[in-house]
């Protein structure tokens, strides 16, 4: 979900799991006649699948992989802003929690590596079909937020970096495109977890949809990040 806090969580997960690889023709919305950046057709899914498979092959072959974030993420999430989201003592507490739950004494003993795939529509309906990025993920974390939170965050941002320049949402874009698309493309997830559709999120962890944990960024950031960490470790333990 756009503006649910995905990238901020991903950039902090990199601090906790050091062996991590973080990660144009845009369709026209038939209703608004604007470019639709929030539908599956706006993404090169085949290229995303290829990138995930390539990273996995390199990890399995113990090859050298450069840790990086996308240009857009760097622009939208300056390092100083990411660091401010979590006090040092809270980050250290989460580091200790990771070590304890994995029964290791240092990060160098981490028993697995992560390929972090950060983006919207990774778990849209039928994501488990072959040839979709979601199908390539061993586990997922779907981060949502209340409608009013998402709208406020989206409308507070001045624009997005694209290949052609800067994209600015036209008036009413969130209500006419972003939110309807979220509901349209996540019917199964919402049906299984109604809280994901902009309800009152009382806690960071809202439940699961298959191997996808559903978390809310309406909770304090430290709680959301902890819920994501718990999901990653639980998925690892289930595979043992």
Indicate the helix (H) or strand (E) that contains 116: strand 114-116
β-strand partners of 140: 212
**What integer pLDDT is reported at residue 105 of this predicted model?**
94
Q: Which of 162, 50, 161, 163 is nearest to 115 (CA)?
A: 50
Check residue 207 and give left, alpha or beta (phi > 0: left; psi -120 to 50: alpha): left
**What integer pLDDT is reported at residue 67 of this predicted model?**
46
**What integer pLDDT is reported at residue 163 of this predicted model?**
64
Q: Which of 190, 157, 161 is nearest to 72 (CA)?
A: 161
Task: Yes or no: say if 227 and 214 are a contact pair by the CB < 8 Å rule.
Answer: no
**What integer pLDDT is reported at residue 68 of this predicted model?**
46
192-136-117 Cα angle (round to 5): 85
Run means of pLDDT, 10 residues per run, the chain, 240 residues: 63 72 69 88 83 82 50 46 79 93 91 84 78 84 86 83 76 93 88 71 69 83 86 85
> For 169, which DSSP code?
P
Model confidence, pTM: 0.73
> For 124, which DSSP code?
-
CA distance 187 to 60: 35
Residue 51, CA distances (Å) to 19, 123, 140, 151 in order:
17, 17, 17, 31
């Amino acid at each position: 979900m756009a503006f649910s806090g995905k990238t901020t969580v991903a950039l902090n997960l990199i601090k906790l799991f050091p062996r991590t690889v973080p990660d144009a023709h845009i369709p026209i919305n038939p209703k608004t006649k604007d470019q639709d950046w929030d539908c599956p057709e706006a993404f090169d899914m085949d290229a995303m699948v290829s990138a995930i498979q390539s990273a996995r092959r390199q990890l399995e072959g113990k090859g050298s992989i450069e840790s990086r974030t996308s240009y857009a993420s760097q622009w939208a999430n300056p390092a100083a802003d990411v660091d401010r989201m979590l006090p040092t003592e809270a980050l250290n507490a989460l580091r200790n929690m990771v070590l304890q739950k994995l029964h290791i004494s240092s990060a160098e003993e981490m028993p697995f590596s992560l390929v972090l795939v950060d983006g919207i529509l990774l778990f849209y309906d039928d994501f488990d079909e072959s040839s979709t990025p979601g199908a390539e993920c061993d586990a997922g974390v779907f981060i949502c937020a209340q409608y009013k939170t998402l709208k406020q965050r989206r409308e507070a941002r001045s624009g997005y970096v694209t290949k052609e320049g800067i994209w600015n949402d036209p008036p009413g874009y969130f209500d006419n495109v972003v939110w309807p698309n979220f509901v349209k493309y996540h019917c199964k997830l919402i049906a299984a977890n109604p809280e994901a559709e902009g309800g009152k999120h009382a806690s960071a962890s809202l439940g699961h949809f298959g191997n996808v944990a559903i978390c809310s960024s309406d909770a304090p950031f430290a709680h959301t990040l902890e819920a994501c960490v718990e999901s990653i470790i639980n998925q690892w333990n289930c595979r043992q």
